[in-house]
Structure 1
Amino acid sequence: MKTVLLATTGMSPAVLTETVWALAREKPAVVPDEVYVVTTVSGAAKLKELLFGPDAAWESLRKNILGKKAGCDNRLVFDPADIVVARKKLGGKKIALDALTDVADHTAFADTLCSKLWEFTSQPGTRVIASLAGGYKTMSALMLSAMQLLANDGDRCTHVLVSGGLDAPGLGFFFPTTKAQAGCVQLIDIPLIPLRRWFDRHLGHKPPPSYADLVARADSATRPSLEVGPYPAIAINGARQNLACRPYTYMRFFAECAKEGRMPFTGLDDIATALAVWEPRDFNLADLDPSAYKMNKHLSELRKKLPALAPFLPRR
C-alpha cells in the first residue's frame, strides 16, 4: 500500500521533518512514499530555503531514516514541485495566496486542500496521513474537516509536539539526531471519524468543485428526511413505506407539528395534550388513547418496526 503524507505549513517547515521522523520511529515504521504540502507563497519560499537550500535538511532526513539505501530508495519523495500554493480567483485571474487574511483566502485554501485530498483518497491502495501541525490554526481546522469528509478507513490525522526548547526560533532544529533529542518529539494521532462512507455514492467520480460543495453534499446525504403523504404512505430518506392507521396518525401528527414549529415537546404529557386537540383536515383521526402510557407503548413499537424513523420521533 502506498502512503501519502499531506501537510499544511507556515513559516516553520520543521513541523514537516519532525512529523516524518516521528512516523519512521513508530512500530512498525511508517515511511511515506510521497510527501506534499499545501501552503502560501511565503510558506513555499521558506520550505525551499530551509529544506532544499545549501544545507539540504530534507536529504539529511532521508539519509537518517533510509540509511545507505537513501540513494536508491523511492520513498520520501519530496521536492519543490510537490509544494502546492493555494490560489484564489480575483478579477478573472488566479492569484497565489501570500497569507490567509479574509474569508475568500480561507475559502480558496479549503478548495485547494479538497482538491489534493480528493486526488489521493480516490486512488485505490493509497493511505493518506494528514499533518495538522503547521500553518495557521484555520489551516489545521480545514484540513481536519476535509479529512473527515474525504478520508477512508485507515487514513490518519496527526500533530507533532516538540519540547525541551528545541522549537525555539533560530535554533535550526529539524529532527532529532541524539537520544536526548529523540525524547522531545512526540507524534499525536488526532481522532478521525471518516464520514465518506455515509455519502460516498453522492460524490460520484468527479471531484467536488469546492469545499462548500463538498460540505453541502455531505449535509444533504446524511440529513434524514421524512415525507408524509396521503394515508397510508410515508417516505423515509426517499424510501416509501406504508403504515397502519395508528402509526401513520402519529407520524402525520409529528410532521405537522414540526412544520408549524411546535416541536420539540418537553415530554409525553406535553405530546398527549397537543394530540388531544389536534384535528387533521383531510384525514380521519385513528382511535388513539392520548395517555402517556399508551403513547409510549405505541411509539416503542414504531421504533422497533421502523428504526429509520428514530430521528423523527420524540426522545424517550
Structure 2
Amino acid sequence: MTPRKILLAVSGMSPQIITETLYALIHEKNWIPDEIRLITTLIGKRNAVQQLLEDEKHFFRLLQDFGITQEVRFDEDCIIVIRDGRGQELPDLRTPEDNEAAANVISEQLRLLTSDPEEGQSCTELHVSLAGGRKTMGFYAGYALSLFGRPQDRLSHVLVSEHYESHPDFFYPTRSPRMIHTRDGQMLDTSKARVYLAEIPFVRLRNRLPETLLRGTHSFSDVVRLAREATEAVQLVLQPRNGQYSVNGRTGRLTSLQMALLAWVVERALANKPPIEPVVDGEYRPAGELLHVAERYWLDLNIRTTETLREQGITQSWLEQNISKLNSALVAALGPDLAERCKLASRIIGDRRGYALPDDIVLHIDGSTEQDE
C-alpha cells in the first residue's frame, strides 16, 4: 500500500512557509503531498486562510501555475491552532506557558502522524518543515520528529534568496514575471527568486523508546523525561539496611524479603557469578546464600518465611511468585518505562539461562564492604 504523504509545518504570522516548502519539494524532490497540516496560532490561522486559501489565493495559484493536478488537501480543517491549558486558542506565543502549550500540540501531532495505521488505513510518509514560526516552535518540531520519526520521515528548512525572504508579497517563484515592491521602493520579479530545500539529518530514537510512550498521550516535558529515562544508562543503587533503593535518582522502598532477593541478585552480578538458575524437576535448591545476604544487611525476614526457606529451599513457584512481587513494587515506584529497564527476569548471560537484571545496568550496594564478607 502506497504511504500517504503529509507535509507538516509550523508557522507564526507568515504562512509563506507552506507555499515555499511545497514549491521546493515539487521542484527538488518531485514529492507532492496528499495532505498539508499547519500548526500555528489564532492570528497565524487567520493569515493562512486569507493569504493562501480564500478567493483561490496563493496555495491554489501555485498548484495551477505548475500544473499540479493531483489532489493536495489543505483547508481550514488542516490548520491546528495552539490552545492553552483552558482550551482557549492562543493569538500568539508570548509566555513560557504559551510555549509549553505549543510544545504539547506539536509533540502530540507528531506522535499521531507517525503512529501505526489502523486496520484498512495506509501508513504515512511525513515531511516536517521547521522554517516557520518562532524559533521554539521549530525546535519542538525537530525534537519531536527525532523522538517519533521513522526511516521514511524527513526534516527540512527552506532557504529563500536575498530580498525575497520574509517579503509579505512573496509566496513562491512564479513561472511568469510578477512584480512586487520592496520597502525602499525597488521592484522585484518573483519569477527570478530562488528557493532551496535544506534537508536536515536527525537522530531517530523511536526504536529505543518504550511502547507506552509511542501510544500514550503525554505532555512534551513528560515525553522528554520518559525518553531520557528510556535511553540513558540506568544506575541502580541499593541501601539494604534502610530498605531503600534509587534508580537514576528516583527512590523507592522494598520489603525486607524483596530487598534481600534484589541484593542477592546484585551481589551475584557484581561478583560475576552466574544468574540464579531455575529449579529443574523439583531439584532442591538451598536458600543459604539468600538467607546470608538478609542476615548480613540486618534484613528482618518473617519467621515463617525463614523456616520455609530453610526446610524447602528455593522452589520454582516461590521464586517466580516473589520475583513478580518485586517487579510490581518497582513498577509502582518507578513507572512502567523505567522499571522495565531494571526488572528481574529470565535472561541468557553467557551460556547460562537464569534470573538476572539487564546486563547494561550500573549496580551499586551501599554498605557492601570486604569486612562484611
Calculate the aligned-residue CA RMSD, in Å: 3.0
- Corresponding position of 1:52: 53
Counterparts in 2 of 1:178 and 1:60: CA distance versus 1, 3 Å: closer
The 5 A counterparts of 1:76-115 are: 76-89=72-85, 93-115=86-108
> Which stretch has the larger CA shift, 80-89 or 217-226?
217-226
Residue in 2 that maps onto 1:119 = 112
Q: Give, as a single letter, the amino acid of the residue that structure 2 aligns with 1:104.
A: E
Shift of residue 183 of structure 1? 6.2
Distance (Å, rounded) in 1 between the aligned partners of 2:153 and 2:195: 22
Mapping 1:169-208, distance limit 5 Å: 169-170=167-168, 172-178=169-175, 181=191, 184-203=194-213, 205-206=215-216, 208=217
Tell me the amino acid that sits aligned with residue 105 of structure 2.
T
Alignment CA distance shift 1:111-1:2 (3 Å): same
- 1:41 and 2:42 matched: yes
TM-score by length of 2: 0.59
After superposition, give the CA deviation of every residue in 1:228-277 in whole Å (9 maximum; x if it has no partner): 7343135994266889xxxxxxx9x9836xx7xxxxxxxxxxxxxxxxxx
**Contact 1:226–1:237 (CA under 8 A) maintained in structure 2:** no
Q: Distance in 1 between matches of 2:363 and 2:166?
A: 60
SS of 1:25's equivalent in the other structure is: helix
Q: Quote how far apart the aligned CAs of 1:178 are.
A: 3.9
Counterpart position of 2:234: 225
Q: How many residues align?
A: 246
Whichever residue aligns with residue 53 of structure 1, its letter is E
1:167 offset after TM fit, Å?
Answer: 2.3
Distance 1:282 1:4, change over 3 A: farther
Q: 2 CA distance for matches of 1:42 and 1:49?
A: 11
Residue matched to 2:221: 212
Contact 1:129 1:156 in 2 (8 A): yes
Q: What TM-score comes out, normalization by structure 1 length?
A: 0.69
Aligned partner letter, 1:280: T
1:151 maps to what in 2?
Answer: 149
Counterpart contact for 1:113–1:146, Cα < 8 Å? yes
Q: Which residue of 2 aligns with 1:255?
A: 364
Describe the SS at the equivalent of 1:38. strand
* Amino-acid identity (%): 30
Cα deviation, 1:116-137, whole Å, max 9, x if unaligned, reads 1121101442111111010101
Unpaired segments of 5 or more residues in structure 1?
244-250, 260-277, 285-316
Separation in structure 1 between the aligned mates of residue 207 and residue 174 of structure 2, nearest angstrom: 41
Measured at CA, do residues 16 and 197 of structure 1 come closer, stay the same or move farther in structure 2, by a change above 3 Å?
same
Contact 1:24–1:65 (CA<8 Å) still a contact in 2? no
Matched-pair contact (CA < 8 Å) for 2:4–2:34: yes
Q: Deviations over 1:208-235 (max 9, x none)?
A: 2311221122112112224373431359
Please state how far the C-alpha of 1:281 moved relative to its aligned partner: 5.6
Retained in 2: the 8 A contact 1:202–1:221?
Answer: no
**SS class of match (2:87):** strand
Q: Which moved more, 1:124-133 or 1:230-239?
A: 230-239
* Shift in Å, 1:96: 0.9
CA offsets 1:85-114 (integer angstroms, 9 cap, x no match): 10012xxx3111111111110111111112
- Classify 1:176/1:205 alpha carbon distance in 2 versus 1 (closer, same or farther; 3 Å): same
| SS of the residue 1:26 aligns to | helix
Superposition deviation, residue 80 in structure 1: 1.3
What amino acid maps onto 1:10 in structure 2? Answer: G
Q: How far apart, in 1, do the equivalents of 2:192 and 2:116 lie?
A: 34
Deviation sequence 1:288-310 (CA, Å, 0-9, x none): xxxxxxxxxxxxxxxxxxxxxxx
